[in-house]
Amino acid sequence: MLDTVGTLARLGLAAVWLVSGALKISEPGQTYIAVQAYDVLPHGLVGPVATMLPLLELLLGLFLLAGLWTRPVAGVSLLLFLVLIAAIAQSWARGLSIDCGCFGGGGQVAPGQTQYPQEILRDTGFLLLAVWLLARPSTWFSVDRWLGRGRGNPAAPEHDYSEVPEGN
C-alpha cells in the first residue's frame, strides 16, 4: 500500500514539474518577466535563472516519471519548493502585486488579483509529496526498483534470516 502511495506521489510530482517546465519553456519572454517581477535577483542573473528554471523542472519531471534517482530528485524538489515558497512569501510581505508564474505567466498584476495564500498552500502540498518521496522513495514501475535500489527488490529479501540461530 505504501509503495502505491509513493507511486502516486512520484507521478503527481512528475506531472507538476513537467507541466510547469513545459509552460515556462514555451514562453521564455514571459518566464523572464515572471522571474524579474520578484525583484530579488541582480539584473544579470534574471536571464540565466529564467532559462535554467524550466530546464531544471523538466529534468526533475523526467527523472520522477522514470523513477530514476527518486530520493535525490525528491531532495532537489524539496529545496526548490522551499525557495519558491520563500520567494512568494517575500513578495507578499513586501507588498508586491505579482502572479507567481509557477505554471507559466507571471509578472505584475492588479493589487486585488494576487493569490499568495493559495500559491503558498499549493506549493506546500507539492513540497509534502517531495518529503514523502525523500523519506520513502520505494515506488512501483520505477527504474530504481528495476535496478534493485531500495525496498521492493524481489532479488533482495527484506530480512536476512540466514544468521538467526535455528529455533529462535
For the segment 36-56, what is each residue's pLDDT rounded down to a tens digit? Answer: 999 999 999 999 999 999 999
Grid cell in block for residue 126: 507539492
pLDDT tens digits for range 74-126: 999 999 999 999 999 999 999 999 999 999 999 999 988 999 999 999 999 99
CA angle, 127 then 58 then 130, to 5°: 20
Burial 17-48 (b: 16+ CB within 10 A, else e): bbebbebbbebeebbbbbbbbbebeeeeebee
Q: How far, in Å, CA of 15 to CA of 64, rounded?
A: 9
Q: What is the structure's pLDDT at 101? A: 95
Grid cell in block for residue 6: 509513493
Residue 90 DSSP symbol: H
